[in-house]
Structure 1
């Protein structure tokens, strides 16, 4: 199984497509994950730049803004059809809304399944806040109802929603790892969807926990004989990335963080016989300590 790494367009929109693609290629990425423009000139510029750089493409849907369900469903199908027309490797879809009923979100999953069957382009549904799969326990419900549902694993959102590293939901996480075909390798924590910088020692527990989940996905896909697994190093720009007070300046470089994650995971999964070195256990105290009393 090959593991291919994708660069997020998110955060680099100010760069022209040719410049962005050259930078992504030089950094060692295999492709790019992005929305597909509707304007023909912009679409052509994007696709030409990708082809000229030899980069693969993952289509991205995030525009789930309509409150009215019927309008939402029509727009959802419209966007999926548009994305599929560009023939991406697959589509990563932020499907549904957390305030839609399970029946309504299931209708959207059905629309995606129909579009996948009609176009031949796989569609994976992202575990994302404010969307259908916004929490681990909610996603487990859909996994039980929809055995063919495949996901993009972005567990950073679940950490934020549950205010935990999911220590009390191992069954839901295990099911999610079984359904994951694409990874967004952003590291979340109990108070937010993105640590300030995963290279810092204070985030070691959060990083190790996410690594254990990604390890499980890699091992499972390899055991199943998959030809490919894809990973997008999707650390985002400000305000996902914390800023210096009164300046709105990010405290670190989004690009550098993503490239460092690219190198970390490339090295970690370099061999076809990769075995996890971290067992996924998280040392969490039963009761919080009062450090003032210990002094």
Structure 2
């Protein structure tokens, strides 16, 4: 029979765990979405999501459609934003700032940015991050910077430089990009990942591998190790985030469509269903965190 002390410790631990368990708000990507905004939001809600993540629609008609659909289906919204790499630096920075102010006036949950350019200098990339931080503080809405190929954050070592020089840098971790860049699941790099985990405030949940940023089907047994590696890292970030964000953390499931999704030759038929892959990611995270 257990001692009274053992029972008290066990009960206290159970109570602590129940109170420390947080909530994850899941967002569905509209990347490659063929549906009307109303139908997309309807399906998103039916699949168990809390919101959508979408590039801001600059067309006024589409803005109204978005507002109507969000209200009708009771969904949150987060926006994507980015640096235009096709115009000169100064013009791109001004465009970035102007656009970000417009997005934040909509009061999204957050904005996720594809920030900078892997061909910019460190100072040029820092200008975008610092501008975003200032605008974020003015609107009191978080702005995160996604780890992404082609941006300032295209690799783990490069991103670490900015984490050191800009202490208030907030990341969206899409680690699938780094799996491809570094041609590994980043085994043995946990010490280097620790500062990234500490600065990650949002997750893009997609499973990458040593030869690409997206496996063909996350349910397939051959990708079990890759899936586990990603979920292990995400769990650390989410549990840390619960402590910092009053028990709430956000995740966007972001498996992409053809041709980001591997396809059959000639027909371009996707090797798996994008929507099912994203719902699977949500369920996998919920299962790991005992949120079901």
TM-score (norm 1): 0.88
Q: Is the 8 A contact 2:241 2:249 kept in 1?
A: yes
Alpha-carbon separation, structure 1, partners of 2:62 and 2:291: 39
Query: Out of 48, 73, 77, which is 1:28 matched to?
Result: 48
Q: Is the 8 A contact 1:32 1:58 kept in 2?
A: yes
- The alignment status of 1:208 with 2:228, answered yes or no, reads yes
The within-5 A match list for 1:136-285 is 136-224=156-244, 226-271=246-291
C-alpha distance after superposition, 1:187-212 (max 9, x if no partner): 11111000111111111111111011
Q: Is the 8 A contact 1:165 1:190 kept in 2?
A: yes
Unaligned 5+ runs, structure 2:
1-21
Q: Is the 8 A contact 2:82 2:96 kept in 1?
A: no
The within-5 A match list for 1:102-141 is 102-141=122-161
- Compared CA separation, residues 63 and 107, structure 1 to 2 (3 A): closer
TM-score (norm 2): 0.89
- The alignment status of 1:4 with 2:38, answered yes or no, reads no
Q: Is the 8 A contact 1:188 1:194 kept in 2?
A: yes
- Compared CA separation, residues 142 and 175, structure 1 to 2 (3 A): same
Aligned residues: 271
Alpha-carbon separation, structure 1, partners of 2:287 and 2:45: 18
Query: Out of 23, 27, 41, which is 2:61 matched to?
Result: 41
Q: Find the counterpart in structure 2 of residue 58 from structure 1.
A: 78
Q: Is the 8 A contact 1:64 1:94 kept in 2?
A: no
Deviation of the 1:170 alpha carbon: 2.2
**SS of residue matched to 1:112:** helix
**SS of residue matched to 1:256:** helix
Note the aligned Cα RMSD (angstroms): 1.5
Q: Is the 8 A contact 2:207 2:213 kept in 1?
A: yes
Runs of 4+ with deviation above 4 angstroms:
none
Alpha-carbon separation, structure 2, partners of 1:224 and 1:46: 31
Deviation of the 1:81 alpha carbon: 1.3
Q: Is the 8 A contact 1:154 1:183 kept in 2?
A: yes
Unaligned 5+ runs, structure 1:
273-295
- The alignment status of 1:95 with 2:140, answered yes or no, reads no
Q: Find the counterpart in structure 1 of residue 95 from structure 2.
A: 75
